[in-house]
Amino acid sequence: MRAAQVGKLEGPDAIEVVEIDEPKAFPGGVVIDVHAAGVAFPDVLMTRGQYQMKPELPFVVGGEVAGIVRQAPEGAHVRPGDRVLALTLLGNAIAEVAVAPVDMVFRLPDNISLQAGAGILFNDLTVHFCLRNRGRLAEGETVLVHGAAGGIGTSTLRMAGALGAGRVIAVVSTEAKAEVARANGATDVVLTDGWLAAVKELTDGRGVDIVLDPVGGDRFTDSIRSLASAGRLLVVGFTAGKIPTVKVNRLLLKNVEVVGAAWGEWVMSHPGYLAEQWAEVEPLLASGKIAPPEPVLFPLEETAAAVASLDNRTAKGKVVVTLR
């Protein structure tokens, strides 16, 4: 089969499309003919050996797929021929055939294409975990999301309203990304430059209830400043590169929280949680209450460019590689 492989830890440009053997089904594994695979920021980090997971070289890049089941374990909830989306957490996804643990494979609602389906699980379930579990989002609250035109960002914009938010403010670096944020459902969009003052003005000085932050870096202290009383700042990632520090007097003074939100860790340490999440998110997707992603598509041969678009900050929305 053809697959996008990392042979040297030299960044996205070193990803090569190679011919390798199909993976063998492991016990409890579902074999999937992959039609499309999602790209996310951890893929960028893994091409440099900078992610917490460091697979042996060479490895196939990517962590989520959508496709058709070829083979499933006896008694599994999916059967050969089913349209599915699945997590491989992480690696072994951008390939013509993938094997995923049976509890990480779900039926794709009929109204969603395989290409959009490949862009759902990783980001949408992270955002669901962030807002529901870590952020304790209450009906009508205001959510602000940094990097709002990125994968996690657009997922937040698509989902927050359906999960109860009254308002979703997007922070983006360019006008072109502001368009992406609006198209994905932002109530308000502000540019990174001067974002704190703009948010204070939009909220009549009150601030926001939740900041979902996949970016980190220099804006972190301002994110704390942007919170309303009893607000929660969710630490999701550090695309800006720098890991911020927090002076805890700021938390005390405003009665606010800084909360870690690592979805993968939670999934691994809480068996059954993934299925619980899907049981809540699937009907919202199937009924259209959460719009499916509209990913930017790259063919398999251009996987390096697909991953590089997240690295060089040009990606607009979710990025998906197509294989069939």
Ligand X SMILES: NC(=O)c1ccc[n+]([C@@H]2O[C@H](COP(=O)([O-])OP(=O)(O)OC[C@H]3O[C@@H](n4cnc5c(N)ncnc54)[C@H](OP(=O)(O)O)[C@@H]3O)[C@@H](O)[C@H]2O)c1
- With respect to ligand X, which residue has the nearer C-beta, 17 or 296? 296
Q: Which of 11, 132, 21, 120 is nearest to 65 (CA)?
A: 120
- With respect to ligand X, which residue has the nearer C-beta, 69 or 104? 104
Q: Residue 233 CB, nearest distance to ligand X (Å)?
A: 13
Question: Which residues here bind ligand X, judged by CB under 6 A?
Answer: 40-42, 126, 147, 149-153, 172-173, 177, 192, 214-215, 236-241, 261-264, 310, 313, 315
- With respect to ligand X, which residue has the nearer C-beta, 126 or 226? 126
Q: Residue 274 CB, nearest distance to ligand X (Å)?
A: 13
- With respect to ligand X, which residue has the nearer C-beta, 69 or 93? 93
Q: How far apart are CA 86 and CA 101, in angstroms?
A: 8
Specify the residue for token string 């609250």: 141
Q: 63 near 34, Cβ under 8 Å?
A: no
- With respect to ligand X, which residue has the nearer C-beta, 155 or 322? 155
Q: Residue 179 CB, nearest distance to ligand X (Å)?
A: 12
Which residues are 189's β-sheet partners? 170
- With respect to ligand X, which residue has the nearer C-beta, 108 or 235? 235
Q: Residue 64 CB, nearest distance to ligand X (Å)?
A: 10
- With respect to ligand X, which residue has the nearer C-beta, 85 or 240? 240
Q: Residue 264 CB, nearest distance to ligand X (Å)?
A: 6
Q: 323 near 37, Cβ under 8 Å?
A: yes
Task: Please identify the residue of the shown chain whose CB is closest to the bound ligand X.
Answer: 150
Q: 131 near 39, Cβ under 8 Å?
A: no
Q: Residue 164 CB, nearest distance to ligand X (Å)?
A: 20
Q: Residue 319 CB, nearest distance to ligand X (Å)?
A: 7
Written as one letter, the residue type at 220 is F
- With respect to ligand X, which residue has the nearer C-beta, 60 or 130? 130
Q: Residue 163 CB, nearest distance to ligand X (Å)?
A: 16
